[in-house]
Amino acid sequence: MTNFEYLRQLAQALTRLEDLTTPEAKDVLYELALRIYALLLRLLPEGRMERYMQWSLIRAEILIELQSASAALGAQLYSRIAAAEMVVREPTATFYDIPLEALPPRPLETLLDSTIVLGTPISTLYTPDPATGYSPFTLQLMRLLERSVLALFFQEASTAEIANRVMGQRMVGGVPRPLPSRGTVANAWVERYRAIVAASLWSVVTPTQLRAVAALRLLGAPTPTLWVWNAILDPRTCPICRPLDGTTAPTPDAFPRGAPPLHPLCRCIVLP
């Protein structure tokens, strides 16, 4: 198996489709956005300052909704990370020519602690803070919501316009329906979760390769002394990863910015 074939197999195994957000996750986010949409329509007054005062009262109720959705999305992501660990084992074992048994699956707790997204382990990202009861991901969702909603409070926007920033409306059968659309908070939530999923799945790859190298050492076989950076080069390749393609380092962590993934939606991999 060549480097290219190995990379292609891993990419197909992990991503399958371009959109990594499962229908179940989209349902959770749609239901969340619909609840917030209805809440704003029902409770926000028209006056600018009155809306601001009311927001401070309903913010706690919104946070509860966000935390519930965060817990559901975290559980879905945990299962996908565990599945990715199983999926990458076979092409990795084939590439390094070692028995599949030499790469036993890692426990879920180990997987979640070692899956890093922007410097934060996934286990931490979705675990509620004992002091507040909310996870870091919940607070991310709230910041995305407030960034849009609070700005409209002081632009004399109507309550309906504020609610529509959360969901948006489309005509379905001649009837306006609340649906996620570009530029809405609901769409920003989907994009944030999709980016975290992509980074999480790809971050399973490098530790699996390092375990394969350790297995080679135990088997007395030659181990890699040089690693090469492989970026998937297409119009979506970012300016950080593109110049790294083809560069080498003695270990995966010795690259200038460390081992991939370097950012959400990063599709790079290092190979011996």
- Distance (Å, rounded) from C-alpha 202 to C-alpha 229? 14
Average pLDDT over residues 10-16: 73
Give the confidence band of 133 by pLDDT, cuts at 50, 70, 90: very high
Give the confidence band of 19 by pLDDT, cuts at 50, 70, 90: low
User: Which tokens sit at 45?
Assistant: 């007054």
For residue 227, what pLDDT is reported? 92
For residue 108, with 0-12 CB atoms within 10 Å meaning exposed, 13-18 middle and 19 or more buried, which class applies? middle
Give the confidence band of 17 by pLDDT, cuts at 50, 70, 90: low
For residue 30, what pLDDT is reported? 93
Give the confidence band of 14 by pLDDT, cuts at 50, 70, 90: confident
Give the confidence band of 18 by pLDDT, cuts at 50, 70, 90: low
Summarised one tens digit per residue, pLDDT across range 235-271 is: 888 899 999 999 999 988 899 988 888 877 788 888 8
Higher pLDDT, residue 126 or 48 = 126
Summarised one tens digit per residue, pLDDT across range 181-223 is: 888 999 999 989 988 888 888 888 888 888 999 999 998 888 8
Residue 9 CB neighbour total at 10 angstroms? 18
| Closest C-alpha among 127, 72, 97 to residue 216 | 97
- Distance (Å, rounded) from C-alpha 67 to C-alpha 255? 37
Summarised one tens digit per residue, pLDDT across range 74-129 is: 999 999 899 889 989 999 999 999 999 999 999 989 988 888 777 788 889 999 99
Residue 135, pLDDT > 90, answer: yes
First to last CA, the chain: 13
Indicate the average pLDDT of the chain: 88
Residue 26 CB neighbour total at 10 angstroms? 17
- Distance (Å, rounded) from C-alpha 209 to C-alpha 251? 11
Residue 228, pLDDT > 90, answer: yes
For residue 16, what pLDDT is reported? 60
Average pLDDT over residues 53-64: 92
User: CA quadruple 17, 22, 27, 32: dihedral positive or negative?
Assistant: negative
| Closest C-alpha among 43, 27, 52 to residue 146 | 52
